[in-house]
């Protein structure tokens, strides 16, 4: 049985760490697993990732962001995710469609209908089995990021933007509770890992 699990959350929430820990746990149990991140994962996607995150001298409009994210996503879904799921693998993706809805929709202010339509074209309707939201206060997440060198374009955006992103995530989780697992991102790494594994273990069994 293949599973498609995505990790979501605001900056500094720890989702990348927990995605790796889950992937490692599944591999230890001899479960076929593939760990990915967005944007990226293909040759085209990696180039788009650099532009979106690190090409700070470029002026990128919110609509251009939306289309670039989905260009990367369309390639990733077609070339990597769908083939892996057909092979029975568990695919873990650090960010997916919900990030675009949260950041470009709620954060940047693009009409949610336009955002979801663009994402739908890129994924051709593919949805995660489980989406894990590591929820953390915005100020705490930004404080964690500020302690690290080299902030990307999104990490440098002002606090009101990130608060809108967080509110968007929580709204999506309330509207589709059967797909979402919301975990308090301020808990210890071990506690978060355990809460996630309890849910994933249910899906595997």
Query: Do the beta carbons of residue 161 and residue 113 sit within 8 Å?
Result: no
Task: Give the integer Cα–Cα distance in Å for 4 and 57.
Answer: 35
Tens digit of pLDDT for each residue in 17-62?
999 999 999 999 999 999 999 999 999 999 999 999 988 788 999 9
Q: Exposure pattern of 79-115 as b/e (b: 16+ CB <10 Å)?
A: ebbbebbeeebbbbbbbbbbbbbbbbbbbbebeeeeb
| pTM (whole model) above 0.85 | yes
Report pLDDT for 171.
98
Host domain of residue 193: 4-204
Who wins on pLDDT, 205 or 33?
33
pLDDT tens digits for 80-111? 999 999 999 999 999 999 999 999 999 999 99
Q: For residue 40, what is the domain's CATH number?
A: 3.40.50.300
Say if residue 39 is preceded by a cis peptide, omega within 30 of 0: yes
Is the pLDDT reported for residue 1 higher than 90?
Answer: no
Q: What angle (nearest 5°) sits at the alpha carbon of residue 105, between those of residues 104 and 108?
A: 55
Question: What is the number of structural domains in the chain?
Answer: 1
């Amino acid at each position: 049985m293949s599973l498609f699990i995505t990790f979501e959350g605001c900056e500094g929430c720890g989702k990348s760490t927990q995605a790796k820990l889950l992937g490692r746990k599944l591999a230890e149990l001899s479960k076929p697993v593939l760990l990915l991140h967005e944007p990226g994962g293909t040759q085209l996607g990696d180039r788009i990732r650099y532009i979106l995150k690190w090409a700070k001298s470029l002026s990128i409009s919110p609509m251009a962001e939306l289309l670039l994210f989905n260009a990367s996503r369309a390639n990733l879904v077609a070339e990597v995710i769908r083939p892996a799921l057909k092979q029975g693998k568990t695919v873990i993706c650090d960010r997916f469609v919900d990030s675009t809805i949260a950041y470009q929709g709620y954060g940047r202010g693009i009409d949610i209908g336009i955002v979801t339509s663009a994402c739908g074209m890129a994924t051709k309707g593919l949805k995660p089995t489980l989406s894990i939201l590591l929820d953390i206060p915005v100020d705490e997440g930004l404080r964690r990021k500020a302690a690290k060198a080299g902030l990307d374009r999104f990490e440098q955006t002002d606090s009101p933007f990130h608060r809108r992103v967080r509110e968007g995530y929580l709204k999506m989780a309330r509207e589709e509770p059967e797909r979402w697992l919301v975990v308090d991102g301020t808990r210890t790494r071990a506690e978060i890992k355990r809460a996630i594994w309890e849910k994933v273990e249910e899906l595997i069994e």
